[in-house]
Amino acid sequence: MSDTESPTVTAPASESQNSEMETQPQPKKEEDTTNALLRIWPPRQRTRDAVVTRLIETLSTPSILSNRYGTLPADEAATAARAIEEEAFGVASAASSEEDDGIEILSLYSKEISKRMLESIKARAAAAPSPTSNSVDPTANRVVSATEDVSSASM
Domains in the chain: ranges and CATH: 45-133 (1.10.246.200)
What is the per-residue burial (b if ≥16 Cβ within 10 Å, else e) of 29-48?
A: eeeeeeeeeeeebbbeeeeb
Rounded CA gap, 114 and 74, in Å?
19
Confidence of residue 19 (pLDDT cuts 50, 70, 90): very low
With CA atoms as reference, report the closest residue to 40 among 104, 113, 102. Answer: 102
User: Model-level pTM greater than 0.85?
Assistant: no
Give the model's pLDDT for residue 3: 52
The larger pLDDT score, comparing residue 135 to residue 32, is at 32
The larger pLDDT score, comparing residue 108 to residue 22, is at 108
Mean pLDDT of 85-111: 92
Q: What angle do CA 116, 119, 122 make, to 5 degrees?
A: 145
Amino acid in position 116: R
Confidence of residue 73 (pLDDT cuts 50, 70, 90): very high
Instruction: Please report, for residues 15, 18, 140, the alpha-carbon distance to residue 23 in angstroms, rounded to integers and kept in the order given.
Output: 12, 9, 69
Helix, strand, coil fractions of the chain, as percent rounded to 5: 75, 0, 25
Give the model's pLDDT for residue 138: 46
Rounded CA gap, 118 and 15, in Å?
64
Mean pLDDT of 31-51: 79
